[in-house]
Amino acid sequence: MNSGDRNDRAAWLKGPSIKCSGLPEKLNRPWRLVLLGPPGVGKGTQAELLTRRLGACHLSTGDLFREAQHRSEREQTLAMGAALNFMKRGALVPDAIVWELIRERTSCLHCQGGFVLDGFPRTLAQAKALQVLLENERLSLDAVVTYELPGAEIISRLSGRRTCEKCMAIFHQTAQPPRIEGICDRCGGALFQREDDRPESIAVRLDAYEHSTAPLIQFYRNAGLLTLVVATGSGEEIFQRTMTILESRVKPTGDGSQYEQSAVFAR
Ligand code: AMP
């Protein structure tokens, strides 16, 4: 759960037994969202902005794997070691390993502020498994936001991206540089280039997106949940665009205490 300005991903990253550290001061209607889009489109940045604004949990499977990468080999399970080898070359981690991580963190889906799933699901099998899990937990998604961007811009965003090794905040060498080169503005941690943001891995990731993840667009369109957002411009502009569309998806009913879905933006 996020509290104030702090993007607190501790519970999600540290495992099933860790509780969220704080509730937002004002509890809003919980939003339960999935973010889709090719790598480099800015899902991580949007997920951060959305979770801060909505008081939701930011659940990023990519963060889970990156966090595991910083642990010593002795601390890693065999399955996690195998997963990291897939990730380093830009390939998708097998569904069974990803699913194990999601299942053991089911309690995070019940966060009172809602959740923003960033990087999951990424295959049809994952999307169908998530659907069953949410049904079993008596939860439902409010929207699936898919971000769109031309190929050339995707490559430029990926190759200039730098990530904080401590708090996972995202910067870009030219579009969003930190105040001090190589240092995170937020927590002072060192910035690094993700191994999978190197040119040889970028091609593999774009291919994995086309073959495995793009079919989810139709899956969620059929479910009436899909919301398309053009991802050009600054992070803040994209965020404003996203919020405008999301807020149009729900309209208050009667006394304003409840909300109902509007199908206007389902495509
Ligand atoms: P991301 O930070 O979302 O771009 O994820 C980084 C990498 O983690 C991906 O390129 C995959 O290797 C792996 N990964 C993250 N989420 C998933 C997922 N849901 N299914 C398979 N692999 C994943």
Nearest CA to ligand 1 atom 2: 62
Give residue 168's pLDDT band: very low, low, confident or very high (50, 70, 90): confident
| pLDDT tops 60 at residue 2 | no
| Residue for token pair 């923003």 | 116
d(Cα 162, Cα 184) in Å, to the nearest integer?
A: 9
Q: Which region among 16-30, 35-49, 153-167 has the lowest average model confidence (pLDDT)?
A: 16-30
Identify the sign of the CA torsion 150, 154, 160, 162. Answer: positive
Q: Which region among 10-19, 30-39, 111-120 has the lowest average model confidence (pLDDT)?
A: 10-19
Give residue 18's pLDDT band: very low, low, confident or very high (50, 70, 90): low
Give residue 256's pLDDT band: very low, low, confident or very high (50, 70, 90): very low
Identify the sign of the CA torsion 213, 216, 265, 24. Answer: negative
d(Cα 226, Cα 34) in Å, to the nearest integer?
A: 10
SS3 state of residue 260: strand
- Cα dihedral 68, 92, 97, 222, rounded to 10, equals 130
| pLDDT tops 50 at residue 4 | no
d(Cα 204, Cα 184) in Å, to the nearest integer?
A: 28
Instruction: Output 13 or 97, whichever has higher pLDDT.
Output: 97
Question: Any catalytic annotation for residue 186?
Answer: no
d(Cα 237, Cα 242) in Å, to the nearest integer?
A: 9
pLDDT recorded at residue 5:
41
* HSE toward the beta carbon, residue 248, CA cutoff 13 A: 12
Tokens encoding 84: 């990291």
Query: Which residues line the pocket of ligand 1, CB cutoff 6 A?
Result: 39, 61-62, 65, 86-87, 90-93, 98, 119-122, 126, 196, 205
Give residue 21's pLDDT band: very low, low, confident or very high (50, 70, 90): low
| pLDDT tops 60 at residue 75 | yes
pLDDT recorded at residue 237:
95
d(Cα 78, Cα 122) in Å, to the nearest integer?
A: 22
Give residue 20's pLDDT band: very low, low, confident or very high (50, 70, 90): low
The Cβ of residue 166 has, within 10 Å, a number of other Cβ atoms equal to 14
pLDDT tens by residue, 184-223:
999 999 999 988 898 888 989 999 999 999 999 999 999 9
**pTM of this prediction exceeds 0.95:** no
Give residue 16's pLDDT band: very low, low, confident or very high (50, 70, 90): low
Mean pLDDT computed over every residue of the chain = 84
d(Cα 1, Cα 18) in Å, to the nearest integer?
A: 12
pLDDT recorded at residue 63:
87
pLDDT recorded at residue 232:
92
Tokens encoding 162: 């730098």
| pLDDT tops 50 at residue 102 | yes
pLDDT tens by residue, 43-67:
998 999 998 888 888 899 998 888 8
In terms of Cα–Cα distance, which of 12, 222, 231 is closest to 124? 222
User: CB of 202 within 8 A of CB of 158?
Assistant: yes
Question: Any catalytic annotation for residue 66?
Answer: no
Which of 63, 65, 162 to probe ligand 1 with, by most ligand atoms within 8 A of CB?
65
Instruction: Output 103 or 265, whichever has higher pLDDT.
Output: 103
Which of 36, 87, 124, 201 to probe ligand 1 with, by most ligand atoms within 8 A of CB?
87
* Ligand 1 centroid – CA 251 distance (Å): 34
In terms of Cα–Cα distance, which of 63, 108, 104 is closest to 87? 63
